[in-house]
Structure 1
Amino acid sequence: MSARKAAVLVAGSWGTALASVLADNEFDVNIWTRNAAQADEINRDRRNLKYTDDAELSPRIAATVSMEEALRGAEAVLFVAPSAVMREVARQAAPYLSPESVVIHATKGFEPETMKRMSVVLAEELTGVDPASVVVLSGPSHAEEVIRRCPTTVVVAAGELTAAERAQDVLINSYFRVYTNPDAIGVEVGGALKNIIALGAGLSDGLGFGDNAKAALLTRGLAEIARLGVTMGGHALTFAGLSGVGDLVVTCTSRHSRNWRAGYMLGQGKPLDDVLRTMGMVVEGVKTTKAAHALARQYEVSMPITDQLYEVLFAGKEPQVAVGHLMGRVRTHEIEEIAGASGVKWTF
């Protein structure tokens, strides 16, 4: 009996961690990269040193620079490309993707130029795939811990429940627990927007503002995420779940988080360009801040934390001045009513 096959596009830290989950689930995994040296390192040394330090990779994982080879016979295809290049990767994959494959993406961000969600980008490029069957994977899940098989719980969401259940079956195991959710929009928006608040949490820590400030930032940040997410069509309860509160907590409180680390360096006075060079990997929260700032205006949603972070990142505002503007806003209620895309009112 031939082994089940899966493909992961691309070979960053999260893609490599998910490839390890699939390998533990007895899949033969082709992981695609455009970097031939990286592919050689994975195949020869069983390591992906830049992204997963010294973690030893399963012999079931093979790296390739050929998209056709990566997708050949794949039952499941995981797109884990940075948001800025997701469309390009999907376009390259489209000619070789089987209509029988379950398509999953695990990228937390918006396309920078269009502000589109990743599932929308995939549906536009993978024309043979039903948009409702594109699965979103999100939740509190540092790659560094997943690859060490630390207990992790995530959520998969799709408009078509059977697609989410297929993804659940492919990924779930003894250390990687997977729930399903029908709210793909909410799961996707929550996963993307929490990176903005993580930048703010790191910045707050870098400024030495303490736990009171960070707790307030997470709480009011969640309110912003929910306001925009519900207005875009997500369900309120999704933001109280794994892709909302869960992902927000883990990303804002851990040094594993690239967004937290970037914010921390900004809080210590380092310029953004220097921070991004030091990181050496994609910091999704920076581009997501720009996208969310535009989306807030498009949907006429109040997002004061996002607005101030945008000013710090892209308009040269001093972080202390931004905090002063947040603290000096006119008094308001904590609990408010808004109408979501369905027209049904809810409170938070």
Structure 2
Amino acid sequence: MKTAVIGSGSWGTALAQTLQDNGQDVIVYGVDDREIRDINENHKNSKYFGDIQLNPGLRATTDINAVRDADVVVLAVPSIAIEPIVREVDAILEKPAVFVNVAKGFHPVTNERLSDVIRHSVRPEHLSSVVSLIGPSHAEEVVIRQLTTIDAVSQNEEDAKLVQTLFSNGYLRIYTGTDEVGSELGAAIKNVMAIASGILSGLGYQDNTRAALITRGLQEMIRYGTHFGGKE
């Protein structure tokens, strides 16, 4: 089974290395030739990770045709780039693929959830399913193999389990779920609360105030999420 990771940034590189650690057939596609050469020749992605050594078997390319025969396509690009890159991949794919989105947020114009954006941007004959790989994680910790847990969430439970199998190992544990709405909304909106928490800190407020924000913010997130069909 071949996986193509679209995006040679921090999260794309860290997840691709995880797949390489697991003995999977994986290649990273990126548009920055310096990053690609750094991965291939120096086994580093210095722009994001400094002198950290990557798995020496990890390969990268600037040729988008690397996705042509992929079984799994991991979208590690900013939310604003999801629609155009999916349309570009769709034009190249030769068979159905599982699209794995790792970005958080919404379509900048329509406000659609990103899983819906993907479904609207790829032809049905090229789409097995959409899986959201999201959860509390920092790429710079995953790349040095710190213990981390995240979720593979999809309307297709079998493909969520497939992604779980691909990525799970001794340092990265993947849980599965089917609440796509709640998971995607929660992953995006919690960043609003994080920014607000930082603002409170900058204004001189301390733990009591931030705890109030988090407690009430969680309730608002639940109300918002369940309104749109998420599970409480």
User: Same fold judged by TM-score > 0.5?
Assistant: yes
Higher helix share: 1
How many angstroms apart in 2 are the aligned matches of 1:207 and 1:61? 45
Counterpart position of 2:62? 65
Question: Which of 109, 117, 123 is the equivalent residue of 2:119?
Answer: 123
Counterpart position of 2:201? 205
- What TM-score comes out, normalization by structure 2 length? 0.93
Q: Which has the higher contact order (CA 8 A, sep 6+)?
A: 2
Counterpart position of 2:71? 75
Counterpart position of 2:95? 99
Question: Which of 192, 216, 221 is the equivalent residue of 2:217?
Answer: 221
Q: Deviations over 1:226-280 (max 9, x none)?
A: 11111111101xxxxxxxxxxxxxxxxxxxxxxxxxxxxxxxxxxxxxxxxxxxx
1:138-217 matches, within 5 Å, as 138-217=134-213
Contact 2:33 2:62 in 1 (8 A): yes
Helix, strand or coil for the counterpart of 1:102?
Answer: strand
Q: 1:9 to 1:34 in 2, by over 3 A?
A: same
Q: Count the aligned residue pairs.
A: 232
Q: 1:197 to 1:36 in 2, by over 3 A?
A: same
Unpaired runs of at least 5, structure 1 = 237-348
Counterpart position of 1:26? 23
Counterpart position of 2:42? 45
Q: Does 1:14 align with 2:11?
A: yes
Unpaired runs of at least 5, structure 2 = none
Q: 1:233 to 1:132 in 2, by over 3 A?
A: farther
Helix, strand or coil for the counterpart of 1:167?
Answer: helix
Q: Does 1:88 align with 2:84?
A: yes
Q: Deviations over 1:83-142 (max 9, x none)?
A: 111111111111223534322111111111111111111111111368782101111111
Q: 1:235 to 1:48 in 2, by over 3 A?
A: same
Q: 1:223 to 1:130 in 2, by over 3 A?
A: farther
State the Cα distance separating 1:31 from its structure 2 match. Answer: 0.9
Q: Percent identity?
A: 39
Partner amino acid, structure 1, of 2:186? G
How many angstroms apart in 1 are the aligned matches of 2:128 and 2:179? 11
Helix, strand or coil for the counterpart of 2:133?
Answer: strand
Q: 1:11 to 1:24 in 2, by over 3 A?
A: same
